[in-house]
Structure 1
Amino acid sequence: MGIYRELGRNPGVFRVLASQLTARFPFGMLSIILLLHVQLAYGDYTSAGIVLATQSAGQAISGPVASRLMGRWGMRPVLTLTAILCSGLLVAIAVVHLPLVIVAGLAFLVGLTTPPVTPAVRTLYPKLVPGNQLTALFSLDAAAQELIWVVGPVVAVLVSSQFGTLVGLCVAAAFMLLGGAWFILSPSVGTVKIPRSRRGLGAILRRPTVIISTTIGFFFVASFAAIEAGIVSAFTPAGDGAGHGSIESGIVLALFAGGSLVGGLLIGHRPLRPWSLLLRITIVLIGTALCLVSLNIWWLGAVLFLGGIGTAPAFAAVSSMVSSTVKFSETAEAFGWIGTGQLVGVAVGSAFAGIAIDAAGAHGAILVSAGLLVICVIVAACTMRWVPDLKDGHIEPLPETGTLSIPLP
């Protein structure tokens, strides 16, 4: 654990870590609040799944594009504009009752204008600490972000059940705006410049590690979207006219995230080996599959805590893999594409989970989640040879090399 104390000796690291977590806090609330808000307004989970899917689709499109724009316009202008637009759209969805197709359109715009905080901060990290501390920083970030998923679902359910989903959406918008301002005003955001990439949009996808990370992220996060919807439906009484999720769902999801927090702190900082990613995803699969045994709150909490132990370490492994195999000028776009894969996964997971819940209840969504993780494990097993062996724990982006023309005498 001493490695985390070493991180604190680097100026600005903990401020950036805390501020970006605050800016991303709404993402721990939005899925549940939107699920409950739309289910209340339209009376079924399929409509809620459609809205969540359109939001994720918009965010998937914006990921690599916004990341490239940060290299052209700078981090602060892009982050500021998107934070203002996205929070305003959330308030609009909250206060105006509109036809489902219009709400889905607004949700798409919410995704399209989501502030690119994650690719921004993952690009900053290599400039804040030495290469031999970067694995530990990625691990701490992956573990700390689970606070979003520990506190976020609980806050979302509590606020929505006590004050309504309208207030819940407005609270999420406030976190996005104020947390975003704190992160944007961090000195590192203004001093670290992302070089403009010399290659066209999407060229980074030629790197095997980026393709692997994007594909695995798709299935991995899709499974989370499915299990989250399943847990919420398991503890929402049938015919609940208020449309409020039970506090039990927030507790179970918080335990899932709590396991990830523990796993990130205890094993996430270990150097990446070719088999690390496969092992960590397998732990998540075991915990998810055990959910099929019973929907008892304590059983679900225990097995999801177990599965969560592999979650943050898996995300840390992906970050280490990408940062060690791409150029600094392409890091933001690489993480943007990975974010796109994850968000398309959210769209697919949410949509299929909504349909599965209407057809077979909570067990249907859990089956969807387990199936997606099986595919994820297969992909991880088949691509181990491309995963870098970072047993020395030192990570450096690839050098910014290019072709130089030398005139002949």
Structure 2
Amino acid sequence: MSPRTVFGPYARLFAVPGSVAFSFAGWVARLPLPMLGLGAVLLVAGETGSYGLAGAVSGALALSSAIAGPQWARVMDRRGQGVVLQRLIAGYFAFGVAFVVAVTAGAPRWSWFVLAVLCGGTGANIGSLVRARWAEALADAERRQTAFALEAVVDEVVFVVGPPLVTLLATLIAPPVGFLTGIVLGSVGGLWLARQRATEPTVQPVDPSAPVRRWAALNATVLVIAAVYLAVGAVFGALDVVVVGFADEEGAPALAGVALAVYSAGSLIAGLVYGVVRLPGTLTTRFLVTAVGFGLAAQLLWGVGSLVVLVASGFVAGLAIAPVLVSGTSLVESRVPRSALTEALAWTTTGLTLGVTVGSALAGAAIDAWGAEEAFAVPALAAAMAAVVALLGAPLLRRHRDPVVVPVVGERVEPEAAG
């Protein structure tokens, strides 16, 4: 496959008016996603010397963000992205700065948790906002798949750039600088995105005589995919912890970043290719195949016994990441009404976020109990669980026939999503 074949469809995406601006703004606004949790750990641990307390504060921030994100997305579906996002960013910036001041000034520790929860709770789920804009702009289902693949690649770049950046800033300058940089980047990118009103999804008018719409999370497709993404996120969280522990045991802690970067690179490459190939089968079939492929590829982690094997296994396992995320997003987009799309996409991201939190905790406990090499069982089993959950949910996913091409004109609501 030539570079022109791979990159041509992505270049044509940016012929859509305003797409360069909203996609790049979304990338900047998403940089805090991996930066704030790690930044909070480095900040609190640097001030107190307690990684237990640091992990608890970081977990409170992540949990509040995961819960609040879909709620704000629901409001944006009803009132518009720009209006809501501008108000959220104001709170996000204020609470983030207040959190740093409270920690560095030695305020009561309960206030650290309160401010961390408020900061996380005012953060918008930027990825779902950008994907909803692509869905609004592109009439062709295959081009939407390409756009979703592009955003999956953007997510990978964020997770490649964010952690090293916040670590360098916190260690080379001062612990608060890493967290504050994430807050500033998120605020600048979020406000930039909020100002782009021409490309935000059209707000669907609510019929006062119609029954109250169900939460998009009650859509069976969204629930199944969010559950699969929970297991996928557990792989991400566990692997970050286990790779760092394994590299430390091998006497080469600096190579942990290399191994994780190779893992992400595999996903990035697969995402670019998956976004342009025209695969046979329905959206449901593609999702099930990619979920099973993800579960099988990660079983290579059982054989890790050296850093060389880790890098090779990580690259192969990484190739399976983007396809399952892109196919899941495409399936959700085809099964919910436009008026609930942002919320539905936010719930799938919440599944990933919660999975990362759970996976990190389980991996840390496994390393303490068994050692880092044996702890690779955690991400391997989590990946297998993702495949099992997808297969168990297959009957629910197959209840509705997937459209080959989904029209943009008018409201598209399948029976499952029409409540």
Shorter-chain TM-score range = 0.7 to 0.9
Question: Residues 157 and 250 of structure 1 are in contact (CA less than 8 Å); yes or no, is this contact kept in structure 2?
Answer: no
**Number of the residue aligned with 1:137:** 147
1:5-404 equivalences in 2 (<5 Å): 5-43=11-49, 45-95=51-101, 96-97=103-104, 98=106, 101-132=110-141, 133-189=143-199, 192-196=202-206, 200=212, 202-235=214-247, 247-269=254-276, 270-271=278-279, 273-294=283-304, 296-363=306-373, 365-385=375-395, 386=397, 392=404, 394-396=405-407, 399=412
% identical aligned pairs: 27
CA distance in 2 between counterparts of 1:143 and 1:355 reads: 31
CA distance in 1 between counterparts of 2:168 and 2:115 reads: 25
Length-normalised TM-score, structure 2: 0.83
Instruction: Extract unaligned runs of 5+ from structure 1.
Output: 239-244, 403-409
Sort the Cα spacing of 1:32 and 1:52 in 2 relative to 1 into closer, same or farther, 3 A: same
- 1:257-299 alpha-carbon deviations (Å, 9 max, x no partner): 1111101011244455434334333444455443444464443
Aligned length: 395
- 1:154-192 alpha-carbon deviations (Å, 9 max, x no partner): 223332332243211111111111111222222435573
CA distance in 1 between counterparts of 2:298 and 2:172 reads: 30
Q: Which segment is superposed worse, 110-119 or 353-362? A: 353-362
Q: What RMSD, in angstroms, separates the aligned Cα atoms of the two structures?
A: 3.1
CA distance in 2 between counterparts of 1:201 and 1:54 reads: 30
CA distance in 1 between counterparts of 2:306 and 2:95 reads: 37
What is the identity, as a one-letter code, of the residue corresponding to 1:17?
Answer: S
Q: Secondary structure at the match of 2:124?
A: coil
Sort the Cα spacing of 1:316 and 1:334 in 2 relative to 1 into closer, same or farther, 3 A: same
Sort the Cα spacing of 1:289 and 1:191 in 2 relative to 1 into closer, same or farther, 3 A: closer
Length-normalised TM-score, structure 1: 0.85
- 1:329-370 alpha-carbon deviations (Å, 9 max, x no partner): 111221222223222223322332333344344346533222
**Number of the residue aligned with 1:405:** none
CA distance in 1 between counterparts of 2:383 and 2:284 reads: 19
Q: Which segment is superposed worse, 286-295 or 348-357? A: 286-295
What is the identity, as a one-letter code, of the residue corresponding to 2:126?
Answer: V
CA distance in 1 between counterparts of 2:368 and 2:206 reads: 47
- 1:76-125 alpha-carbon deviations (Å, 9 max, x no partner): 12212222322333333434245654433333222211123222222222
Q: Which segment is superposed worse, 194-203 or 343-352? A: 194-203
**Number of the residue aligned with 1:406:** none
Instruction: Extract unaligned runs of 5+ from structure 2.
Output: 1-5
**Number of the residue aligned with 1:241:** none
CA distance in 1 between counterparts of 2:40 and 2:242 reads: 15
Question: Residues 45 and 358 of structure 1 are in contact (CA less than 8 Å); yes or no, is this contact kept in structure 2?
Answer: no
CA distance in 2 between counterparts of 1:237 and 1:57 reads: 30
CA distance in 2 between counterparts of 1:273 and 1:323 reads: 10
Deviation of 1:11 after TM superposition, in Å, equals 1.4
Q: Which segment is superposed worse, 148-157 or 213-222? A: 148-157
Question: Residues 258 and 305 of structure 1 are in contact (CA less than 8 Å); yes or no, is this contact kept in structure 2?
Answer: yes
CA distance in 2 between counterparts of 1:235 and 1:199 reads: 56
CA distance in 2 between counterparts of 1:292 and 1:35 reads: 29
